[in-house]
Amino acid sequence: MGSATRPRVVILGGGFAGVYTALALEKALGERDDFDVVLVNRENYFVFQPMLPEVISGSIGLTDMVVPLRRLLRRSAVHVRDVETVDLEARVVSTSPGFRPHPHRVGYDHLVLGLGNVTDFRGLPGLPEHALPFKNLGDALRLRNHVIRAFEEASIENEDEALRRQLLTFVVAGGGFSGVEVAAELNDFVREVASSYRGIDPAEVRVVLVHSQERILPEMAEPLALFAQRLLQKRGVELRLRQRLQSATGTEAILAGGARIPTRTLVSTVPASPHPLLESLPLPKGRGGRLVTTPELRVEGAADVWAVGDCALATTPNGTPAPPTAQHAIRQAEVCAHNIVASIRGGGSRVFDFRGLGTMGSLGRHSAVAEVLGLRFSGFPAWWLWRTVYLMKMPGWGRRLKVASSWTLDLFLPPDLVELRLGGSKGLTREHYEPGEEVFREGDIGDSLYIVLSGEAEVVRGESILAHLGPGEVFGEMALIEHTTRSATVRCLSAMDVLRMPQQEFADLAAHLPDLRASVQKVMEGRRGARTIEPP
Ligand SMILES: Cc1cc2nc3c(=O)[nH]c(=O)nc-3n(C[C@H](O)[C@H](O)[C@H](O)COP(=O)(O)OP(=O)(O)OC[C@H]3O[C@@H](n4cnc5c(N)ncnc54)[C@H](O)[C@@H]3O)c2cc1C
């Protein structure tokens, strides 16, 4: 599959697992040239995820913790594309179209699956529409921008107290490492920036961490987890333990027991689910949909397919599944690369027998918890250890220098408040509403058109009910076409899902599709004629 004479190893995923497999294969190549390495990844950079939460506060620069794959991998061919399909029979991977929509197919002799996992909100009403995941650089940047926007809005919102409360409440769901680190970093950031806004009293700001178990950080020893809980609470984080996030709307996080937290910012680091591409492959899967591997890290029953990192269910020497962490992904990558080389060149194979060096979690502002080689640290010593270890683990001295100087400057300078607006418009979006919620209110600005996907609502003016809305019906057209404010309120009678089309998109489409404008106008006139009163 490689060149006429050389076998080809294709690695899917450029996270810890994929990149470190490629690095180990490049090292094994040395002076030789007896196989090719291809790495396919969605982004053209590698993200050092343990530092991702620091992007929220801007304590390290946006691109300081990412490394371009081409700088890291000197001898591998890098394909920056989405993997779309894998044909295990034909041994071919197909990737998404680039500038020209022609199919792009890469054949392989050995396939390494290192696609990680995904945060999957399916089955949790309102989460796909309203919760922010936290997995990659785009997620971190989106959250940072969103939080700054919430502050900008809250600082000038003097009429609507409820809206102000929602804007200044930040909810994180998931008390594992990533959720705790996000909550800690977010808490530091919002409390520090609140003082830069004249219209905001820092006491109004709430950060809530929702976790389904007895205590946060279940991966750590109890005393360290309890230390983390006390510290977060002392710094103002509200803990909601033994409670599970069940659904969300654009204005509330709804917990399983029925409690509702008004918020415009909901981050969820759970649930972690198997990668959708792997779900569809006829390969053996175990707990959490992860690919079952042999101790050599071959996918069971597949001689030429290997799995590493978060998507693999590799077993540690004590018989438990290796946890989804960067340190395990790196060790698996080394073993996998060794065994691929052994099967190409001949030689003995290795088994994955890494026991883990320990765990560390940052708690923000000069605090962390760490359990390393059987020793426990908390507070400042753990924080110092955390920073030193991760700094030294960053690939390349250039990055280390950048991160170290960002951290140093961060000690003296206030947090940056720049909101980077990247897109002109949000385009067509889906929204979820719970019974009793208002989509918009009489007197609001008419900025969007809505199409009901499921559920029902009523159109209300004052005490009178003007109409009922159900699936397939359009509403919100009147104010949009006539450039007026909403003449009525739309209130949900049941849980309702809608498609929302912003004014600009509607204007663009209507300008080029005269039939669209005509049919919306027909709906409008029909309603006027039927009721002699305008719907919203
Ligand atoms: C916020 C956060 C903090 C963390 N902190 C720590 C920590 O302190 N210590 C620790 O050990 N671990 C930590 N982890 C966990 C650690 O980052 C993961 O275990 C590790 O990244 C797993 O590596 P991976 O290569 O298996 O998956 P990933 O790093 O998720 O990489 C998967 C790669 O595949 C790519 N990909 C996915 N689908 C496609 C597709 N269809 N086409 C092309 N490319 C695709 C993705 O873009 C990504 O680059 C943290 C994770 C997060 C999210």
- CB-based contact 267:173 (threshold 8 Å): yes
- The minimum-distance atom of ligand 1 relative to the CA of 53 is 1
Instruction: For residue 473, give both structure tokens.
Output: 């019906």
Per-residue pLDDT of the chain (536 residues; tens, 9 = 90+): 555 679 999 999 999 999 999 999 999 999 999 999 999 999 999 999 999 999 898 888 878 889 999 999 999 999 999 999 999 999 999 998 877 767 789 999 999 999 999 988 888 999 999 999 999 999 999 999 999 999 999 999 999 999 999 999 999 999 999 999 999 999 999 999 999 999 899 999 999 999 999 999 998 999 999 999 999 999 999 999 999 999 999 999 999 999 999 999 999 998 778 899 999 999 999 988 999 999 999 999 999 999 999 999 999 888 889 999 999 999 999 999 999 999 999 999 999 999 888 999 999 988 999 999 889 999 999 999 999 999 999 888 888 998 988 888 888 888 888 777 766 556 889 999 999 999 999 988 888 999 999 999 999 998 899 999 999 999 998 887 787 889 999 999 999 999 999 888 888 888 888 888 788 778 777 776 655 444 45
pLDDT at 510: 82
pLDDT at 3: 59
Contacting residues for 277 by C-beta, under 8 A, at least 6 apart: 83, 84, 85, 86, 115
Q: Within 6 Å (CB) of ligand 1, which residues are found? A: 13-18, 40-43, 49-50, 52-53, 82-83, 114-116, 134-135, 177-178, 181, 275, 277, 309-310, 324-327, 329
Longest dimension (CA), the chain: 85
pLDDT at 288: 86
Rounded to the nearest angstrom, the distance between the alpha carbon of 458 and the centre of ligand 1 is 45
pLDDT at 535: 45
Report the sign of the C-alpha dihedral through residues 109, 115, 116, 118, in that order.
Answer: negative
Element (H, E) at 46: strand 45-47
Say how many C-beta atoms besides its own lie within 10 A of residue 260's C-beta: 14
Rounded to the nearest angstrom, the distance between the alpha carbon of 532 and the centre of ligand 1 is 58
Rounded to the nearest angstrom, the distance between the alpha carbon of 42 and the centre of ligand 1 is 12
Identify the residue whose C-alpha is closest to ligand 1 atom 2: 178
Q: Locate tokens 């029925």: which residue? A: 258
| Residue type for position 21 | T
| Strand stretches in 249-397, DSSP E | 252-255, 260-262, 265-268, 272-273, 291-292, 305-307, 312-313, 358-362, 368-372, 375-379
Integer Cα distance of 196 and 171 in angstroms: 21
Q: Locate tokens 């300078």: which residue? A: 413
Q: What is the pTM of this model?
A: 0.87
pLDDT at 515: 82
Rounded to the nearest angstrom, the distance between the alpha carbon of 114 and the centre of ligand 1 is 9
- CB-based contact 275:115 (threshold 8 Å): yes
**Alpha carbon 138 to its chain's center:** 8
119 closest CA partner among 324, 321, 265, 314: 324
Contacting residues for 1 by C-beta, under 8 A, at least 6 apart: 7, 8, 91, 107, 108, 109
- The minimum-distance atom of ligand 1 relative to the CA of 140 is 1
pLDDT at 363: 94
379 closest CA partner among 192, 239, 228: 228
Instruction: For residue 432, give both structure tokens.
Output: 């979820």
Identify the residue whose C-alpha is closest to ligand 1 atom 4: 50
